Amino acid sequence: MNTNTQRTAKSPFKSRPSQEGQQSKPLNERFVYQDDEVIDKPFNWAEFKRLFAYMKPYARQMIPLVVLMMVLGTITKLAVPFLTSMAIDGAIAPEPPAVPNARLLLILTGIVLLLYIIQWGANTYRIKYTNIIGQRVIYDLRADLFKHIQKLSFNFFDKRPAGSVLVRVTNDINSLQDLFTNGAVNVLIDCVQLVGIVVILLLINWKLAVAVMITVPLMFIISTRLRVRIRRAWQDVRMKNSRINSHLNESIQGIRVTQAYTQEHENMAFFDHMNFTSKRSWDKASAMNQAFGPLIEITGGLGTLVLFWFGAYLIQTGQLTIGYLVAFATYVGNFWDPINRLGQMYNQLLVAMASSERIFEFMDEKPAISDKPGAVSLPPIRGDIELEDVVFEYEKGRQALKGISLSVTAGQSIALVGHTGSGKSTIINLLSRFYDITSGKLTIDGYDIRDVTVESLRSQISVVLQDTFIFSGTIRDNIRFGRLDATDEEIEAAAKAVHAHEFITHLPGGYETEVEERGTVLSMGQRQLLSFARALLANPRVLILDEATASIDTETELKIQDALKVLLQGRTSFMVAHRLSTIRNADNIIVLDHGELVESGNHDQLMKKQGVYRGLVEAQFRFL
Ligand SMILES: Nc1ncnc2c1ncn2[C@@H]1O[C@H](COP(=O)(O)OP(=O)(O)OP(=O)(O)O)[C@@H](O)[C@H]1O
């Protein structure tokens, strides 16, 4: 179920009135985030097993040790009240005619001390090993998730804000950390302790044991009802957090636009609203969580009342000793503790299950683009490309391309022109198979691109996108991204060929200059030259270029034109072209209009036609 963001909470920040004195558009009409799916299923055992399968690799090596420590810790803990009862009944206040026995008391105290030391040692080792297992499981889960996300296709990312993807790899995985480091083992310890205590209580005096535990079924019924609500509340918290992260991510990426349009206040108001809603849902979930504690305490209190009332009666009738009553009281005290912890743990488990459902939901997402069974490896290509009646829809029923047919011979340069939204980028996205065509046929050297492996196809095609992405690292590393095994000399040769060498050597660290994320240290023109060097290094047979529209100075433009000539030599190329100089040199110009191919030919032929192309060129000149 996808719902739009609901905004009902009162926020201290208000939208500013517009200049005309009218209230600006309400915030809830300005930002719309799609919520992650609300996953509302009963406790999923299959998913639970799948999650715990991550422990399997470490089970044989570590778990026997952890279990041994756990058993040691539990036995020593359970033995102490029993020894206490022995001390009371045998050494401190024995039934007359026996007298207090100081020696026995000393021995029993020594044993208790020894047990405490063993308990401390066992717990220390247990915590250490469970932490090691927990960390390894989290590491494996995160690695698996990241590996899978990297394989997912464009359409997956089209649908989701980057922030919500981020949350699953960070927050959702982190929320499993507690479960794997302490939670799982604590549950086992508590269960073993509970069973142990019940058995001991029954052995000491079954009548008193039954009387004390009479309230347990009642507590069980109430808590089961609470659990469902708690589970939903925690899911809601996760969803709200995911929204905050999406907005945060967008706000940081778009901070320049926000500041340029002085929208900080509005942005803050929106964020504040989200923050408030998130806090409120956290409060709600946490309040429900807290309800567990008092529930146990009330039940425990009732149990204690029964214990002393009925216990006193049993002592008076000679069915129980004082020592056993004290031991009984201690065991009963220890009985509610694990139950309380198990209740809390159950909540922690619910939180973890909500997270794991979200993680597995991503892991189960099949990449829309994948190798079909029997896909062959595309041999080294010449670069003949054929599009036959290609139709493509990003969303069902809305055609972005409406039957494009196009024949390109190896080595030709193709310029794609047309109004904004006419389908230029869509064509180049299809060539690299970032999306699969809806109908028609797309072949390279006669191979249908859906019949070959994605890797063999993409490794022979280089794509230079409009928004050149510069990764954090050195300039050299960024060029090397084109071909990881390239030598330093090859990198510099590629940079020289596309005229990037000059500006690189003028940077403070030359090729070793560290560039920041998204390459803001570099100008648009420089970023483009760098991406040309990257593409040249990859030496592809087919080159796809989404030309940047940013206005750059004439000198850089000339450099880019020169660089392009080098880059395009001997390759089949597709270019989303905006500059007349680029278009004029193309072998074939494809003019698109609303997803249809309306004209094609070289510059001179198209100019004579008096059609869409001529109109575009003349419009460009009118602005000069
Ligand atoms: N990821 C997407 N999901 C849904 N629709 C999309 C997506 N990308 C593009 N479209 C739609 O497909 C159509 C063609 O878009 P395309 O990006 O190919 O245009 P373009 O010619 O490259 O435009 P521009 O010159 O502005 O970059 C447009 O109507 C656009 O709204």
Phi (first) and psi of residue 445, to 5 degrees: 50, 35
Distance 424 CA to ligand 1 centre (A): 8
**Residue numbers of the domain that contains 314:** 45-363
> Ligand 1, from 160, 390, 394: best to mutate by most atoms within 8 Å of Cβ?
394
Count the neighbouring beta carbons within 10 Å of the beta carbon of residue 53: 11
Q: Which helix (H) or strand (E) holds 352?
A: helix 322-363
Distance 583 CA to ligand 1 centre (A): 21
Residue 515 domain-assigned (yes or no) = no
- pLDDT of the residue at 623: 56
Residue 409 domain-assigned (yes or no) = yes
111 and 141 share a domain? Answer: yes
Instruction: State the DSSP code for 169.
Output: I
> Ligand 1, from 426, 438, 616: best to mutate by most atoms within 8 Å of Cβ?
426
pLDDT, tens digit, 9 for 90 and up, residues 32-45: 555 544 445 566 78
Buried b (16+ CB within 10 A) or exposed e, 546-579: bbbeeebeeebeebbeebbeebbeebbbbbbbbb
> Ligand 1, from 424, 428, 597: best to mutate by most atoms within 8 Å of Cβ?
424
204 and 337 share a domain? Answer: yes
pLDDT band at 21 (very low <50, low <70, confident <90, very high): very low
Residue 506 domain-assigned (yes or no) = no
What does the pLDDT average to over 363-390? 91
- pLDDT of the residue at 592: 93
Instruction: State the DSSP code for 85.
Output: H
The answer, yes or no, to whether residue 67 has pLDDT greater than 60, is yes
Residue 520 domain-assigned (yes or no) = no
Check: CB of residue 415 under 8 Å from CB of residue 583.
yes
Ligand 1 atom at minimal distance to the Cα of residue 592: 21
414 and 358 share a domain? Answer: no
* AA identity, residue 108: L
186 and 132 share a domain? Answer: yes
Residue 353 domain-assigned (yes or no) = yes
The answer, yes or no, to whether residue 15 has pLDDT greater than 70, is no
Check: CB of residue 587 under 8 Å from CB of residue 602.
yes
The interface predicted TM-score of the complex, written ipTM, equals 0.96
Q: Which helix (H) or strand (E) holds 576?
A: strand 572-576
State how far the Cα of 466 lies from the Cα of 528, in Å rounded to an integer.
Answer: 8
Ligand 1 atom at minimal distance to the Cα of residue 154: 1
pLDDT, tens digit, 9 for 90 and up, residues 127-169: 888 888 888 889 999 999 999 998 898 888 887 777 778 878 8
345 and 406 share a domain? Answer: no
3-state secondary structure of 498: coil
Check: CB of residue 120 under 8 Å from CB of residue 64.
no
* AA identity, residue 451: D
Name which residue sits closest to atom 12 of ligand 1, judged by CA. 400
Distance 592 CA to ligand 1 centre (A): 12
- Residues having CB closer than 6 A to ligand 1 are 158, 394-395, 400, 418, 420-426
* AA identity, residue 388: E
- As a whole number, the mean pLDDT across the chain is 82
The answer, yes or no, to whether residue 119 has pLDDT greater than 50, is yes
More reliable by pLDDT, 319 or 178: 319
Of 78-87, 207-216, 388-397, 554-563, least confident by mean pLDDT is: 554-563
Check: CB of residue 577 under 8 Å from CB of residue 428.
no
The answer, yes or no, to whether residue 353 has pLDDT greater than 50, is yes
Of 9-23, 81-95, 236-250, 556-570, least confident by mean pLDDT is: 9-23
- pLDDT of the residue at 8: 36
Count the neighbouring beta carbons within 10 Å of the beta carbon of residue 368: 13
Distance 151 CA to ligand 1 centre (A): 23
β-strand pairing of 588-593 with 413-418: parallel
- pLDDT of the residue at 438: 94
173 and 283 share a domain? Answer: yes
State how far the Cα of 383 lies from the Cα of 380, in Å rounded to an integer.
Answer: 9
pLDDT, tens digit, 9 for 90 and up, residues 265-278: 888 888 898 899 99
Contacts of 455 (CB under 8 A, 6+ apart): none
State how far the Cα of 414 lies from the Cα of 427, in Å rounded to an integer.
Answer: 12
What are 443's strand-pairing partners? 386, 448
Q: Which long-range contacts (CB under 8 A, 24 or more apart) does 85-90 make?
A: 85/321, 85/323, 85/324, 85/326, 85/327, 86/323, 87/323, 88/321, 88/322, 88/323, 88/326, 89/321, 89/322, 89/323, 89/324, 90/323
197 and 239 share a domain? Answer: yes
Quote the tokens at residue 384: 């003949």
Residue 206 domain-assigned (yes or no) = yes
Distance 543 CA to ligand 1 centre (A): 20
What does the pLDDT average to over 215-219? 76
Ligand 1 atom at minimal distance to the Cα of residue 429: 18
Distance 394 CA to ligand 1 centre (A): 9
**Which of these three, 363, 389, 420, is where a domain ends?**
363
Distance 245 CA to ligand 1 centre (A): 26
**Relative orientation angle of helices 264-316 and 322-363, to the nearest 10 degrees:** 150
Ligand 1 atom at minimal distance to the Cα of residue 158: 1
202 and 251 share a domain? Answer: yes
The answer, yes or no, to whether residue 20 has pLDDT greater than 50, is no
299 and 442 share a domain? Answer: no
Check: CB of residue 513 under 8 Å from CB of residue 569.
no
Ligand 1 atom at minimal distance to the Cα of residue 466: 27
Residue 299 belongs to domain with CATH number: 1.20.1560.10
pLDDT band at 7 (very low <50, low <70, confident <90, very high): very low
Distance 503 CA to ligand 1 centre (A): 34
Ligand 1 atom at minimal distance to the Cα of residue 423: 18
- pLDDT of the residue at 32: 53
Buried b (16+ CB within 10 A) or exposed e, 534-545: bbbbbbbbbbbb
- pLDDT of the residue at 19: 42
> Ligand 1, from 422, 434, 612: best to mutate by most atoms within 8 Å of Cβ?
422
Closest CA to 159 of 434, 395, 424, 454: 395
State how far the Cα of 617 lies from the Cα of 252, in Å rounded to an integer.
Answer: 38
The answer, yes or no, to whether residue 17 has pLDDT greater than 70, is no
More reliable by pLDDT, 30 or 430: 430
Distance 425 CA to ligand 1 centre (A): 7
Q: Using omega within 30 degrees of 0 as the cis cutoff, is the peptide bond preceding 96 cis?
A: no
Ligand 1 atom at minimal distance to the Cα of residue 427: 18
State how far the Cα of 196 lies from the Cα of 563, in Å rounded to an integer.
Answer: 79
**Which of these three, 363, 390, 419, is where a domain ends?**
363
Name which residue sits closest to atom 3 of ligand 1, judged by CA. 394
Check: CB of residue 581 under 8 Å from CB of residue 557.
yes
Distance 4 CA to ligand 1 centre (A): 24
3-state secondary structure of 414: strand
pLDDT, tens digit, 9 for 90 and up, residues 448-479: 999 999 999 998 898 887 777 788 888 998 89
Ligand 1 atom at minimal distance to the Cα of residue 422: 21
- pLDDT of the residue at 33: 55
More reliable by pLDDT, 5 or 555: 555
Contacts of 314 (CB under 8 A, 6+ apart): 205, 207, 208, 320, 325
**Which of these three, 363, 394, 423, is where a domain ends?**
363
Distance 292 CA to ligand 1 centre (A): 53
Q: Which residue has the tokens 């756990």?
A: 70
Check: CB of residue 602 under 8 Å from CB of residue 609.
no
Residue 401 belongs to domain with CATH number: 3.40.50.300
Instruction: State the DSSP code for 379.
Output: P
In the chain, % helix, strand, coil (3-state, to 5) comes to 65, 10, 25
- pLDDT of the residue at 462: 87
pLDDT band at 550 (very low <50, low <70, confident <90, very high): low
> CA angle 382-613-547, nearest 5°?
55
The answer, yes or no, to whether residue 13 has pLDDT greater than 50, is no
* AA identity, residue 325: L
The answer, yes or no, to whether residue 516 has pLDDT greater than 60, is yes
- pLDDT of the residue at 349: 79
Residue 605 domain-assigned (yes or no) = yes
pLDDT band at 622 (very low <50, low <70, confident <90, very high): low
Check: CB of residue 285 under 8 Å from CB of residue 232.
no
Please state the domain count of the chain.
Answer: 2
In the chain, the percentage of residues whose pLDDT exceeds 90 is: 21
DSSP 257-287: HHHHTT-HHHHHHHHHHHHHHHHHHHHHHHH
Quote the tokens at residue 262: 């002085």
What are 576's strand-pairing partners? 416, 546
Count the neighbouring beta carbons within 10 Å of the beta carbon of residue 347: 21
- pLDDT of the residue at 149: 92
State how far the Cα of 91 lies from the Cα of 108, in Å rounded to an integer.
Answer: 9
Check: CB of residue 250 under 8 Å from CB of residue 164.
no
What are 552's strand-pairing partners? none
Phi (first) and psi of residue 597, to 5 degrees: -85, 115
267 and 235 share a domain? Answer: yes
Contacts of 485 (CB under 8 A, 6+ apart): none
Name which residue sits closest to atom 2 of ligand 1, judged by CA. 394
The answer, yes or no, to whether residue 9 has pLDDT greater than 50, is no
Phi (first) and psi of residue 72, to 5 degrees: -60, -50
93 and 228 share a domain? Answer: yes
- Which residue intervals of 205-263 are DSSP H helices? 206-212, 216-253, 255-260
Name which residue sits closest to atom 9 of ligand 1, judged by CA. 426
State how far the Cα of 74 lies from the Cα of 276, in Å rounded to an integer.
Answer: 44
260 and 325 share a domain? Answer: yes
Residue 476 domain-assigned (yes or no) = no
* AA identity, residue 174: N
Distance 157 CA to ligand 1 centre (A): 15
Q: Which helix (H) or strand (E) holds 601?
A: strand 596-601
The answer, yes or no, to whether residue 94 has pLDDT greater than 70, is yes
pLDDT band at 553 (very low <50, low <70, confident <90, very high): low
